[in-house]
């Protein structure tokens, strides 16, 4: 059972739990929606309090402001004495144990949402090694304000909201790292391999939205590695190929231009490095499921970033 626009959070059969924790994915029902969701425990519904071990393909940051019980991450059990901040990274196993009256906010996002701040991937990975932070009054006040701002930006969807959301997330990650250091629980030391450096540099190149660099060969040449080495490094760091990430960046830029400018489809095609309008239309339809013209004519339907299942209370189908 897939919850439209949220996560697959179904209780597995007992035999399934015995074999391996289920993997949950952040489902974005149409390609133009942000790979991010913000809500409260009540907004996401009872499955946000899942009491069976499971894993994610996405990041989850949880700000717990009330409740009792424990949160189990990997093999560590963390008792609830709110306020807390919890960071769960892709692949970690977690669940809530004997949780009662949970209150707080949840922030779910995929790796692709970190394109503006690729260095945050490492901070999040290190925070995942010490996922449970108790917040002092100053840190709690700061975190509450940030979460409120994230909720408001996500809800309103005003001009530039995606940039603001990425900036607020960056601030939250940096402050969480500070809180970990101040609590006397330093983060695990960073692992800086050559593959890490290559992957971060690749993310910076495609974030610049320069069509001349939207090819694996061009990026590899700029970084000074072979295309094969670039592919291996990026796949190790992100789980996806550089070609896939380049297609996502090209598509995202095309959608921005179609939604926010009066450029013709032919002009948009050139701007994203695809000089043949017919090929661009095929590319766009393959990546989004709609033609460039239909996307532009879709108005608010296609440009609504919010995920339906968290715009209202979660319901079972």
* Residues 32-62 pLDDT 10s: 467 889 999 998 887 788 998 888 888 999 9
* Residues 116-156 pLDDT 10s: 787 888 888 888 878 889 999 999 999 999 999 999 999 88
In angstroms, rounded to a whole number, what is the distance separating the alpha carbons of residues 315 and 309?
8
What class is the 14-189 domain? mainly beta
In angstroms, rounded to a whole number, what is the distance separating the alpha carbons of residues 150 and 137?
20
Residue 216: phi and psi, rounded to 5, are -60, -40
**CA distance between the termini of the chain:** 8
- Asked if residue 231 has a cis previous peptide bond (ω within 30° of 0), the answer is no
In angstroms, rounded to a whole number, what is the distance separating the alpha carbons of residues 312 and 132?
29
Q: What pTM does this model have?
A: 0.59
Q: Would you list the DSSP string of 8-31?
A: --PPPPHHHHHH-PPEE-B--SST
Q: Are 219 and 202 in contact (CB under 8 A)?
A: yes
Q: What is the pLDDT of residue 33?
A: 64
What class is the 194-302 domain? mainly alpha
Provide the 3-class DSSP secondary structure of residue 197: helix
In angstroms, rounded to a whole number, what is the distance separating the alpha carbons of residues 18 and 86?
26
Domain assignments of the chain as residue spans, ordered by start: 14-189, 194-302
Q: What is the pLDDT of residue 13?
A: 42
Computed over every residue of the chain, the mean pLDDT equals 79
More confident of the two residues 63 and 182 = 63
Let me know if the fold of 14-189 is the same as that of 194-302: no
Q: What is the pLDDT of residue 261?
A: 77
Closest Cα to residue 117, out of 183, 57, 48, 163? 163
- Residue 114 predicted with pLDDT over 80: yes
């Amino acid at each position: 059972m897939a919850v439209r626009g949220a996560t697959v959070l179904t209780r597995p059969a007992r035999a399934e739990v015995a074999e391996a924790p289920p993997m949950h994915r952040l489902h974005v029902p149409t390609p133009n929606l942000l790979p991010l969701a913000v809500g409260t425990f009540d907004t996401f519904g009872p499955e946000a309090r899942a009491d069976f071990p499971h894993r994610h393909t996405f990041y989850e940051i949880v700000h717990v402001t009330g409740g009792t019980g424990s949160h189990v991450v990997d093999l560590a059990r963390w008792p609830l004495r709110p306020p807390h901040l919890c960071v769960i990274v892709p692949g970690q196993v977690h669940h809530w144990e004997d949780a009662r009256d949970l209150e707080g906010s949840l922030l779910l996002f995929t790796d692709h949402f970190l394109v503006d701040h690729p260095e945050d991937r490492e901070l999040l990975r290190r925070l995942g090694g010490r996922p449970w932070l108790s917040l002092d009054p100053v840190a709690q006040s700061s975190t509450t304000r940030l979460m409120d701002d994230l909720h408001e930006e996500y809800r309103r969807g005003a001009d530039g909201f995606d940039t603001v959301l990425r900036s607020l997330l960056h601030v939250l990650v940096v402050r969480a790292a500070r809180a970990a250091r101040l609590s006397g629980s330093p983060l695990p030391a960073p692992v800086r391999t050559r593959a890490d450096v290559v992957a971060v540099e690749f993310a910076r190149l495609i974030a610049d939205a320069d069509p001349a660099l939207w090819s694996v060969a061009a990026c590899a040449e700029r970084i000074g590695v072979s295309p094969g080495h670039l592919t291996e490094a990026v796949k190790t760091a992100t789980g996806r190929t550089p070609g896939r990430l380049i297609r996502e960046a090209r598509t995202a830029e095309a959608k921005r231009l179609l939604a926010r400018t009066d450029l013709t489809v032919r002009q948009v095609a050139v701007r994203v490095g695809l000089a043949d309008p017919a090929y661009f239309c095929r590319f766009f339809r393959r990546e989004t499921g709609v033609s460039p013209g239909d996307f532009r004519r879709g108005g608010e339907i296609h440009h609504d970033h919010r995920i339906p299942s968290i715009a209202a209370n979660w319901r079972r189908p």
